[in-house]
Amino acid sequence: MTTSGLDVRFVSVAIDGRRILHGVSLTVAQGEIMAVLGPSGSGKSTLLRVIAGLVAPTSGTVAIDGADVTTVPTHRRGVGLVFQNNQLFPHLNVEGNIAYGLHIARMPSVQRRERVSELLTLVGLPGFGSRDVATLSGGEAARVALARSLATTPRIVLLDEPLSGLDHDLRYTLADDVRRVVRTAGSTAIVVTHDPDEARRIADRVVTLAELSSDTR
């Protein structure tokens, strides 16, 4: 079957003999935002890491836009991942972080700067380029991490508990912002979370990890 978007089939992962994912299958259409719900420790992060290529599945395949990428290394997959604790590079400022992927892709510096300011405006942090990442608040760091992942216009954006560690009110404001930003960027996205409200606010479609698993022994 050739489809645009993401197609994950019967992915199982076992680490040190412990089974973490049990034959997970899912399809996300081009431009769709999907949320995967599941309790802590259920393997949501592992699913994203398999899609990003950071973890090799024990069995099963991952296809993007109809092409099997199961054995393609992370840096050639074109999959963006927003990590749970943002993982902004401490030795670079906000602009350096957002421009990182563009720098790797050898975009000329004039265009790079334009793209960074465009992204900063998109995530609601215009003028933050020269800030040191250590001085950012939790919400600001989450926005910068989102902008960094979107900078290279990846085919798929994965968000791993993007709003964890933020206080309640900020979570919902930011959830709306995340939806707006991902929508504007036109990306296909998967967000994993344990919070159903957050999932509904961000995503077009909400599923639980248990529903996706075919083999729940």
Pick one of 4, 67, 109, 184: the residue that binds other proteins (CB under 8 A).
109
Beta partners for 150? none
Q: x-or-dash pattern for other proteins, window 155-194, by CB under 8 A? A: ----------------------------------------
92 binds other proteins (CB under 8 A): yes
105 binds other proteins (CB under 8 A): yes
Pick one of 10, 32, 72, 100: the residue that binds other proteins (CB under 8 A).
100
87 binds other proteins (CB under 8 A): yes
Sites for other proteins among residues 9-68 (CB under 8 A): 52-54
**Sole window of 12-20, 22-30, 100-108, 206-214 interacting with other proteins (rule: CB under 8 A):** 100-108
Residues 6+ apart with CB under 8 A from 83: 145, 160
Pick one of 27, 59, 152, 214: the residue that binds other proteins (CB under 8 A).
152
108 binds other proteins (CB under 8 A): no
Tokens of 106: 């050898």
114 binds other proteins (CB under 8 A): no
Of 130, 156, 121, 141, nearest to 34 by C-alpha is 156
Residues that bind other proteins (CB under 8 A): 52-54, 73-76, 78-81, 83, 85, 87, 89-93, 95-96, 99-101, 103-105, 109, 112-113, 129-130, 132, 134, 148-149, 151-152, 154
